[in-house]
Amino acid sequence: MTSTASSTSARRASEPSAGLAVLATGLRKRYGTRQALAGVDLHVDRGELVALLGPNGSGKTTTIEILEGFRTPDSGTVRVLGEDPATAGRRWRSRLGVVGQDSDDRAEVTVSEAVRDTARCYPDPVDPDGVIDAVGLRQQADVRVRRLSGGQRRRLDVARGIVGRPELLFFDEPTTGWDLRARHDFRDLCRRLRAAGTTILLTTHDLHEAAALADRVVVMLGGRVLAEGTPDTLGGQDARTPVVGWTVDGVEHGRRTPAPTALVSRLAAAVGHGGEIPDLCVTRPGLEDVYLALVGPEDVR
């Protein structure tokens, strides 16, 4: 874990959990000989949208399932909305919304029936018709689930996840199979939910989605939290240092520098009056660049 991540976790562990939607400390989980979690510390403030990032097998889904109460850790402590998910009751669960990786295949019911059936499980649901509109399924409201495309089924999953008016919403790769328009609509929906006070924990491989939505990102690797921070500060100041690239005699060059304009001026002077710097480019590393530097490109799935 980076020093930023470790210091933040240590501070949160010593604070009361009243202002936290999620507080997990030292989570460990093993499946046979494979250690899925190796001491995960995680916190999510109420009203915050946190994106959980990491390659396949990094421990994201196991962490989420423990927080949802569907798995129990081998060791560590968990509090979600102030309760231990392993022992919390039905009232606690009614405060959650869950959109897992796999769709609930209720093939013969219609979209409207599926959303209304889910709404009946909650004490204060949102109007099902409004939710169907919000996820863009109005034209499919009377269509049986088996006739939906994969992307439409994911929209239905989201509808069923939010219809209960959850305080805390778990999105586990919700936009798989969605086109660009649907992803844009999903981002708008998340912003509206957050503005209404919903806390959201999102796992995604879409780094553009994480950068656009998240108040904070948490990167996992090998069952541990590797780094955390806002999308603009993850990895620390050095990771965001601009890179100047150019070519000389067919050889590509690149240099990291906090003063790219000064470097370009020196290169221009070396070329001479009126000369061009071949293949000149100045790039400022974004979330994707920092993520790849942290986990390694071979680990991206």
Structure confidence by residue, pLDDT tens digits, 199-246? 999 999 889 999 999 999 999 999 999 999 999 888 887 777 888 888
Q: 188: which DSSP letter? A: H
The distance in angstroms from the start CA to the end CA of the chain is 21
Q: List the one residue out of 6, 10, 42 whose CA is nearest residue 201.
A: 42
Q: 232: which DSSP letter? A: T
pLDDT at 263 > cutoff 90: no
Q: 204: which DSSP letter? A: -
Mean pLDDT computed over 20-46 = 95
Q: What does the pLDDT look like over 135-169, one tens digit per residue?
A: 999 999 999 999 998 888 989 999 999 999 999 99
Q: What does the pLDDT look like over 92-141, one tens digit per residue?
A: 999 999 998 776 667 789 999 999 999 999 999 999 999 999 999 999 99
Distance of CA 45 to CAs 15, 22, 142, 248, 285, Å? 12, 7, 38, 50, 27
CA dihedral 54, 16, 95, 64 (to 10 degrees): 20
Per the prediction, the chain carries an average pLDDT of: 87
Mean pLDDT computed over 285-296 = 86
Q: List the one residue out of 280, 290, 287 whose CA is nearest residue 231.
A: 287
Contact 200, 35 (CB under 8 A): no
Distance of CA 293 to CAs 69, 162, 260, 287, Å? 33, 35, 21, 10
Mean pLDDT computed over 67-79 = 95
